[in-house]
């Protein structure tokens, strides 16, 4: 059974005990993501995250690293637009050690000034590696062009933003945003919920504060854009507006996207790859949060096939609006339900789902409830919803050699 608690200081704690699990997975979402970065210091968020593991709970970098290893914590962290996400997995008997280590790192890192330049160099190196990963760069370019400001940022910062950011900016981010009201802690595994909640309360009781909320500023530029790179392949991506998470049409978009390109039986894979051999990879998926949703198509091909690939993908989207069948919707639904079930085998996946659901929906339906909601959807409602795709004007971006597509050339992502 899932338990959701809100502490007196606003921190939300969501837990799902699993009697058969010997592992323990935790996630901590702190409302300090890249949407808080200013245009001239777009880089504070990655700098903060790089600094966060360099000291906490009165421990320096080496002592903190040693303590995390002694607790057997496999950890990771990620810069999102709204949140910094910290994740850790260990054995269930390490709960009392793991909670203060993860929450201390997330909420009260020491951020020693002596580590700042080292952190900056690593962030700059990460940014410099982006052109070596055109698939990643294409996704970030699509975000930059399609997503509303200020939620479009890559989470890697920009070179000028990293260079203009100072240790004082990082400390201000901690003071303003590393606060309990708006933050989320999720825990899944072989836990006693009472002991777990008490451990979180002991660590978080002294925390206070509410973060500022970044105000939406304007729409992304959208349109069609080519980022010229001397690649052997053209990486193509497009996005069009969809329901936000929790919206009444969320699952209609999920199912329609799955039918379009979420599986090997989807239309894109069948028509674009198998029948026409236009690309080595093509897919479509629904991506959203509580603020904005998108349907996203990704494909990769050779420069000589790029124009035809784009034409065929657009034709398949249009055809979806005309003749999507009940059988296709039912196949897509079965695939999605099977994916939910498989994710239920991993405490890491469950902890991530719990945190994301609370962040975007304000509650956390069980897996059984989500499956039941999908099963209740009438395929005809999905077919009717897909008819609206005939009128979309997608944002389209590509990364590849000059002239591969007749798009205006644009500046690099970062």
Q: What is the pLDDT of residues 184-237, one digit of tens each?
A: 999 999 999 999 999 999 999 999 999 999 887 789 999 999 999 999 999 999
> Residues 82, 196: one domain?
yes
- Are residues 296 and 197 part of one domain? no
Q: Count Cβ atoms below 10 Å from residue 46 Cβ, excluding itself.
A: 28
Distance in angstroms (rounded) separating the CA atoms of residues 294 and 285: 9
Q: Which residue range(s) make up the domain with 85?
A: 3-204
Q: Say whether both 143 and 236 belong to one domain.
A: no
Q: Which residue has the tokens 């909640």?
A: 197
Say whether pLDDT at 265 is over 90: no
Asked if residue 53 is part of any domain, the answer here is: yes
Q: How far apart are CA 390 and CA 322, in angstroms?
A: 8
- The answer to whether residue 406 sits within a structural domain is no
- Is pLDDT above 90 for 156? yes
CA atoms within 13 A on the CB side of 149: 10
Q: Are residues 233 and 334 in the same domain?
A: yes
User: Does 267 share its domain with 192?
Assistant: no
- Give residue 43's pLDDT band: very low, low, confident or very high (50, 70, 90): very high
Residues 275 and 370 reside in one and the same domain = yes
At 194, which CATH number?
3.30.830.10
Q: Which of 77-86, 253-262, 298-307, 333-342 has the lowest mean pLDDT?
A: 333-342
Choose one of 158, 176, 204: the last residue of a domain.
204
The reply to whether 413 falls in a domain is no
Residues 258 and 193 in one domain: no
Q: Let me know whether 232 and 174 are in one domain.
A: no
269 with 395, same domain? yes
| d(C-alpha 229, C-alpha 240), whole Å | 25
Q: Check whether residue 160 and residue 258 sit in a common domain.
A: no
Please tell me whether residues 199 and 231 are part of one structural domain: no
Count of domains forming the chain: 2
User: Is 300 inside a domain boundary?
Assistant: yes
Residue 409 counted as domain residue: no
pLDDT category of residue 414 using cuts at 50, 70 and 90 = confident
Residue 52 lies in a domain: yes
Residue 217 lies in a domain: no
For residue 340, pLDDT over 90 is answered with no
Instruction: State pLDDT tens for residues 163-180.
Output: 999 999 999 999 999 999
Closest CA to 298 of 276, 322, 266: 266
Alpha-carbon torsion 324, 327, 328, 332, what sign? positive
Q: Give a yes or no: residue 219 inside a domain.
A: no
Tell which residue, 31, 291, 45, has the closest CA to residue 183: 31
Q: Does one domain contain both 384 and 252?
A: yes
């Amino acid at each position: 059974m899932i338990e959701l608690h809100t502490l007196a200081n606003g921190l939300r704690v969501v837990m799902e005990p699993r009697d058969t699990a010997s592992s323990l997975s935790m996630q901590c979402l702190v409302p300090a993501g890249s949407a808080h970065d200013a245009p001239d210091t777009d880089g504070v968020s990655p700098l903060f995250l790089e600094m966060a593991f360099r000291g906490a709970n009165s421990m320096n970098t080496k002592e903190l690293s040693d303590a995390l290893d002694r607790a057997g914590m496999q950890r990771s962290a990620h810069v999102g637009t709204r949140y910094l996400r910290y994740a850790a997995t260990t054995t269930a008997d390490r709960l009392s050690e793991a909670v203060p280590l993860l929450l201390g790192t997330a909420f009260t890192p020491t951020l020693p000034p002596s580590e700042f330049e080292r952190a900056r160099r690593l962030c700059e190196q990460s940014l410099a590696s982006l052109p070596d990963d055109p698939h990643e760069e294409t996704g970030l370019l699509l975000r930059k062009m399609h997503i509303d400001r200020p939620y479009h940022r890559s989470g890697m910062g920009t070179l000028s933003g990293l260079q203009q950011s100072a240790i004082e900016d990082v400390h201000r981010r901690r003071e303003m945003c590393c606060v309990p009201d708006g933050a989320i802690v999720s825990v899944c595994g072989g836990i006693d919920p009472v002991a777990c909640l008490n451990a979180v309360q002991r660590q978080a009781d002294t925390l206070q504060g509410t973060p500022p909320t970044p105000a939406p500023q304007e729409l992304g530029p959208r349109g069609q854009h080519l980022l010229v790179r001397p690649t052997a392949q053209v990486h193509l991506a497009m996005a069009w507006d969809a329901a936000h998470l929790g919206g009444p049409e969320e699952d209609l978009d999920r199912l329609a996207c799955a039918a379009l390109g979420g599986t090997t039986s989807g239309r894109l894979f069948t028509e674009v790859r198998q029948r026409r051999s236009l690309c080595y990879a093509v897919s479509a998926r629904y991506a959203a949060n509580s603020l904005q949703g998108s349907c996203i198509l990704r494909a990769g091909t050779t420069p000589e096939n790029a124009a035809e690939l784009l034409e065929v993908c657009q034709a398949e989207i249009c055809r979806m609006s005309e003749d999507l069948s009940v059988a296709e919707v039912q196949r897509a639904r079965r695939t999605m339900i099977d994916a939910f079930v498989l994710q239920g085998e991993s405490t890491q996946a469950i902890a991530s789902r719990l945190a994301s659901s609370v962040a975007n929906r304000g509650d956390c339906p069980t897996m059984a409830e989500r499956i039941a909601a999908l099963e209740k959807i009438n395929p005809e409602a999905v077919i009717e919803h897909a008819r609206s795709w005939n009128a979309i004007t997608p944002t389209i971006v590509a990364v590849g050699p000059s002239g591969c597509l007749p798009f205006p050339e644009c500046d690099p992502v970062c």
